[in-house]
Structure 1
Amino acid sequence: MAETPSSPAPAAKAPPALKKGALVRVNRAAYEGSVEAGASDPHPPAYIFEGPGELLVVKGTYGQVRWRRPVPDVWLRMDQLEAFS
């Protein structure tokens, strides 16, 4: 009797898409070595990795983040951001 192929494992759920108003932080692994990191200070501030920042605008693959500090808003790639929890 021929073996029946086992059903494929369920695909891992993709993280929910970040939308305007979401609280986010920067994923250190995705940020380090990126073009954005190279164009910034050699030692990024800790608050971007600790969060939360508010996602103000999403345009294509970039999002504008406002931190709860007196610092300028920044544009980062969406794959470098993760939901703050």
Structure 2
Amino acid sequence: MAETDAAAPAKAKPVALRKGALVRVNRDAYNGSTEADASDPTPPDYIFDGPGELLVVKGKYGHVRWNRPVPDVWLRMDQLEPCPAR
């Protein structure tokens, strides 16, 4: 039998976001990014509050639609996080 190393801490895996997930933007990951530099100097609060729906995942980018009359956006997946239930 193979022994497992009980002393090694278990690393928590980040939640894998899939199509249809409700997401919001992680402010720390977004600030200073290329996406932030290419957008308005002051990002709208609704992207950080959420929820937005993840429509498509292609590689390391996700297509997000907000529940507002605004255009959909593509953001890096590492800038998105699950939106907590309200």
Q: Residue 53 of structure 1 aligns with which residue?
A: 52
1:19-58 alignment, distance < 5 Å: 19-58=18-57
The alignment partner of 2:47 has SS state of helix
Amino acid at match of 2:44: P
Alpha-carbon distance, 1:9 to partner? 2.8
The alignment partner of 2:42 has SS state of coil
Instruction: Give the unaligned 5+ runs of structure 1.
Output: 1-5
Amino acid at match of 2:48: F
CA displacement, residues 15-64 of structure 1 (integer Å, 9 cap, x when unaligned) = 22000000000000000000000000000000000000000000000000
Instruction: Quote the Cα distance in structure 2 between the aligned partners of 1:22 and 1:31.
Output: 19
Aligned pairs, how many? 80
TM-score relative to the length of structure 2: 0.88
Instruction: Quote the Cα distance in structure 2 between the aligned partners of 1:41 and 1:76.
Output: 15
Instruction: Quote the Cα distance in structure 2 between the aligned partners of 1:57 and 1:40.
Output: 21
CA RMSD, Structure 1 to Structure 2 (Å): 1.2
Instruction: Quote the Cα distance in structure 2 between the aligned partners of 1:29 and 1:8.
Output: 32
Q: Residue 69 of structure 1 aligns with which residue?
A: 68
TM-score relative to the length of structure 1: 0.89
